Structure 1
Amino acid sequence: MISALSSRLPTVAFAIIVSFCSLLFILGPAAAESVAFKQAVAEAAAQDQDISAFYKETGYGAIWTGKSGRERNRRAALMNALNAADSHGLPSERYNLTALEQQMKNARTPRDRGLVEVAMSRAFLQYARDVQTGALVPSRVDKNIVRQVPYRDRKSYLTNFAKSSPKGFFKALPPQTGEYNALRKQKLVLEGLIAKGGWGPTVKAKKLEPGDSGASVVALRDRLVRMGYLKRTATGTYDSTMTDAVMRFQADHGLAQDGVVGQGTLAEINTSVEKRLQSVIVAMERERWVNKDRGKRHIEVNLTDFTAKIIDNGKVTFTTRSVIGARDAKRQSPEFSDVMEFMVINPSWFVPRSIAIGEYLPELQQNPNAVNHLIITDRSGRQIDRTNVDFTKYTARTFPYAMRQPPSRSNALGLVKFMFPNKYNIYLHDTPAKNLFGRETRAYSHGCIRLADPFEFAYALLAKQSNDPEGLFKKTLASGTETQLNLKKPVPVHIIYRTALANSKGQIQYRRDVYGRDGRIWNALSQAGVALRGVQG
């Protein structure tokens, strides 16, 4: 047996086990049982560096499998947590609960108990990380989710758990936010609805509006009743009460509130309970990815909601509409968190190279006087004379020039930009293209976030450091000079993506999956073992 083990275990672990074996020859039965237990723990833990390090530090003693009340409480807390993993939208099969329970039941010898001890620690570590910081690695699901997940040291879970109240420790692992709690409650509600047949038949129509009647209006009425937007009624006419219900539905789904069921509203009304449940489960996973202190004051940009908000002490104190990156893969806005440090008033626009070579170089090759609102500079920053350059001899790889647009009202960045320096070259800014803010879906930029009310956004930020923030901003703006205004206290910025989100009352609203990212996340969760409960076979 010793020779067989030597080929499988790390050198240090093998040496420890050999020393345990030698002790068996000189110790009494009780001590021998202890040594056998510790030998099994060392052997089983050897394949996991963090588990092995923890048990080495604690002398290979038991935290789960002893006979004391403390260890019984730990076992019970772990089993309860694993049993409830599905309520968090986690892949419960990942924790091998059934096999673990059987292994615990069959444990007879000290060696059996040692193997169970490590099996429980392994399941504990997997669950703890999943419920605290997510079951998926976001960047593996979508390359534009570049968020840095706040992973905790794995060994610290075991160390801290051994010192804590078991129930309290497990309770503190998931995000402690109103958003997460609201999503978890909604998950139960939707599962109950699925078990009862959902929201009933879909509405078959091209368009419905006030004054209409007929079978499609009846189907709309019945679906709104089941969704909770309309009290039970026998009406077959699209009356004012139904119009009000449709407008409330539109408000909860980020739609234009016109009271008319056009194609966009109809698609949302006909979305199944199962699809909404998927959005909720994905939102819970996303909430775990940002399970950290987001700042007493922070900025939240929800890409699917096309809004940017300033949040102070958990309350939204400023909101503005936004335009986000277009849907094609190269222009989508990424998801990440950073810290806003300053704003630039009367900014120059330094054209990203991808735009310079992808959009403007072909135009210059056709006409050297094209895009004449831009200044073209060489590597030293000196402006060049376009008429002396043959742009046709350059390719996207060899193009040696940079481009910038000087400050002006027609500048692509408008009159102010808000900077949180990052390697993705993403920031918030003004825009001269104000017409886009009136649209329902606003995905048109090259990736940066355009704001509908940038001046007011600036006033709100400067209010923390100036008695006259509007005056300060306007005075700087009037100079016409490019000016950097530092924020005395930098503000965290979180660019998120939620198709299921809680409003101020904790009620869940829904948004479209504009980039298809939530669909990809759901597929990954499903492959990992997450299933929809309540689905009728």
Structure 2
Amino acid sequence: MKNIKNKFVIVLLGLLLTTACNKKSDGVITPEDRIAFDSAKLETFFNQYPEFKKYEKEISELYNKEDFHYVWYDKDGRVDFAEVLYVKVNEIKEEGVVKKMPYKDDLNKLFSERKGDKASLENDLLLSAMYFYYTKNVLEGVDSQTSKQTGWFLPRPNVSYVNYLEELMKDPEKLEKDETENITQYYRLKKGLQRYQEIQKKGGWRKIDFSTDKKNLKEGDNHPAVAQVRARLFASGDLKVDNKSTLFDAELKEGLITYETRHNRTPNNIITPKMIEEMNISVEDRIKTIIVNMERCRWIDPEIMNAKELISVNIPSYKLFYLKEGKPVLESNVVVGKEMNKTVVFSGQMSYIVFSPYWNIPQSIINKEIKPQMEKNSNYLNEKNMEWNDGNVRQKPGKENSLGLVKFMFPNSNNIYLHDTPAKSLFNKDSRAFSHGCVRVEKARDLAIEILKDDKRMSVAKIDAAMNGGKEVNHTLNHKIPVYIAYFTAWADKDGNVNFYEDVYNRDNRLAQMLYKNK
């Protein structure tokens, strides 16, 4: 009986000590197969490979977790997952990573020479460093402090890539097939990147010579620029054949329709100076923009897409989307903050709606705009339906109120919210950065109706009455709705067709410089 108990204890200890990092494709590695090493030798490795010192914390955590045993080798050789990871690292350009892999020659030798199959601490640590290079660059991106320097204050996902390795060791195909580690948009942009990289390999496209003061070109016009546009559309795959003609014919029209549709725009069948200006952006710059936005995707927790409801605003596209169960139920144009009053990239929880709101004017606006007007016109406040309130100025509810007839509140330290506006004409402009920082919503009434669709306390008639009642009314939501205000200058559909937006706050170049550093 004593022997049976001892055998049971040994088996139990073996199961407890065995982790996913001790698995090969042919089964579980027993504790006896594991190779231990002196933890003091880690310092020797980082002295030999100083560029990997940036991963020292994670590597130390990994081996501490494994009680300072090899992770990638046992007495029989190297685990199969190492090969999978090496292939992915060699394809890392497809992930929009431009940083050079440190000591790549050493890693290449590891997989091209027989000695790489043999267990050694140096080899094991090189593979661990390769793993953290991959996860840090492809899945995590730059650290949160760096992303904040670019004006990004959305919450970052908190992932332990030490623990994630355990999952990958169990299922190596997860690294190749799983598309849940980043948000869906990342993988769509990745498709777009591959398309533009192929165009780059073929030589890209030439610049179209067309002065910005020229008139629009339409079907039937004959102009040298038409042939250049034709060549440009052929290079990007929007035109199947380039017949070199300078005549704006039906074939070119079809190419323009394809081009406009691919960029998620309604075709108007004309060539404008603005379109030419857009087409003249080089394929290299387009690739850089895609890479920058793939990086931004790494900063968003993919779990947000599992929210029952979600409101997202993309500043450069001037668009708001309201999603339920991951599907858009409402889309609206928006106006965002101008350059000097940038709309902040952050998230909040919408908790209540204010109908017929007062506009409590910020002190900065009172000092810079209201008081100078009052000095010129003593009746200014009355004309603008404003009044003094406890030493501050506010605008009374009504159709001319700057917040319109409704505002959507998600309390935050930035004092930013979504709201209606009487200035509807601004939504017709291509560039819509005019506000003092808050987000003006074109379909504010529709948004209120959709949000309160299942709220038995509010009908459409009651919403309309509250919006036009001339008296401020707060309505608390039955549940809070996540609101994300983001900044993407490139956005792709499921087929990898990329739509590019104006870098309204000039943030792309700064981030690109960070990513392309030490290329």
- TM-score class, shorter: 0.7 to 0.9
- Check the 8 A contact 2:154/2:484 in 1, yes or no: no
Structure 1 89/504 Cα, relative in aligned 2: closer, same or farther at 3 Å? closer
Q: Which residue is 2:210 aligned to? A: 204
Q: Which residue is 2:7 aligned to? A: none
- Check the 8 A contact 1:413/1:432 in 2, yes or no: yes
Q: 1:88 is aligned with what amino acid?
A: E
Instruction: Summarize deviations over 1:488-535 as a string: whole Å, max 9, x none.
Output: 232222222222212365522222222221222222211153xxxxxx
Distance 2:111 2:309 in 1: 48
- Check the 8 A contact 2:466/2:473 in 1, yes or no: yes
Q: Over aligned residue pairs, what C-alpha RMSD do you find?
A: 3.4
Are 2:80 and 1:79 equivalent residues in the alignment?
A: no
The one of 189, 193, 207 equivalent to 1:187 is 193
The one of 219, 229, 239 equivalent to 1:220 is 229
1:106: Cα distance to partner?
9.3
Q: Which residue is 2:66 aligned to? A: 58
User: Secondary structure of the residue that 1:441 maps to in structure 2?
Assistant: coil
Are 2:325 and 1:319 equivalent residues in the alignment?
A: no
Q: 2:190 is aligned with what amino acid?
A: R
User: Secondary structure of the residue that 1:93 maps to in structure 2?
Assistant: coil
What are the ranges of 5 or more consecutive residues in structure 1 without an aligned counterpart?
Answer: 1-30, 383-400, 530-537
Residues 80-95 of structure 1 mapped to structure 2, 5 A cutoff: 80-95=87-102
Residues 5-154 of structure 1 mapped to structure 2, 5 A cutoff: 36=37, 39-41=40-42, 48-68=56-76, 71-102=78-109, 113-135=120-142, 137=144, 139-140=146-147, 142-154=149-161
Residues 235-274 of structure 1 mapped to structure 2, 5 A cutoff: 235-239=245-249, 241-243=251-253, 245-246=255-256, 249-250=259-260, 252-253=262-263, 257-274=267-284
Q: 2:286 is aligned with what amino acid?
A: R
Determine what percentage of the aligned residue pairs are the same residue. 27
Distance 2:265 2:191 in 1: 24
User: Which segment drifts farther, 140-149 or 282-291?
Assistant: 140-149
- Check the 8 A contact 1:144/1:333 in 2, yes or no: no
Q: Which residue is 2:238 aligned to? A: 229
1:478: Cα distance to partner?
4.0
- Check the 8 A contact 1:202/1:219 in 2, yes or no: yes
Structure 1 482/423 Cα, relative in aligned 2: closer, same or farther at 3 Å? same
- Check the 8 A contact 2:192/2:496 in 1, yes or no: no
User: Secondary structure of the residue that 1:146 maps to in structure 2?
Assistant: coil
Distance 1:318 1:524 in 2: 36
- Check the 8 A contact 1:138/1:146 in 2, yes or no: no
- Check the 8 A contact 1:133/1:290 in 2, yes or no: no
Q: Which residue is 2:344 aligned to? A: 334
Q: Which residue is 1:406 aligned to? A: 396
Distance 1:241 1:91 in 2: 38
TM-score between the two structures when normalised by the length of structure 1: 0.78
Q: 2:409 is aligned with what amino acid?
A: M
Residues 412-451 of structure 1 mapped to structure 2, 5 A cutoff: 412-451=402-441
Distance 1:244 1:468 in 2: 48
Q: Which residue is 1:165 aligned to? A: 171
What are the ranges of 5 or more consecutive residues in structure 2 without an aligned counterpart?
Answer: 1-31, 48-52
Q: Which residue is 1:3 aligned to? A: none
User: Which segment drifts farther, 206-215 or 97-106?
Assistant: 97-106
Structure 1 358/140 Cα, relative in aligned 2: closer, same or farther at 3 Å? farther
Structure 1 351/170 Cα, relative in aligned 2: closer, same or farther at 3 Å? farther
1:75: Cα distance to partner?
1.9
- Check the 8 A contact 1:141/1:520 in 2, yes or no: no
Q: Tell me the matched-pair count.
A: 472
Structure 1 251/362 Cα, relative in aligned 2: closer, same or farther at 3 Å? farther
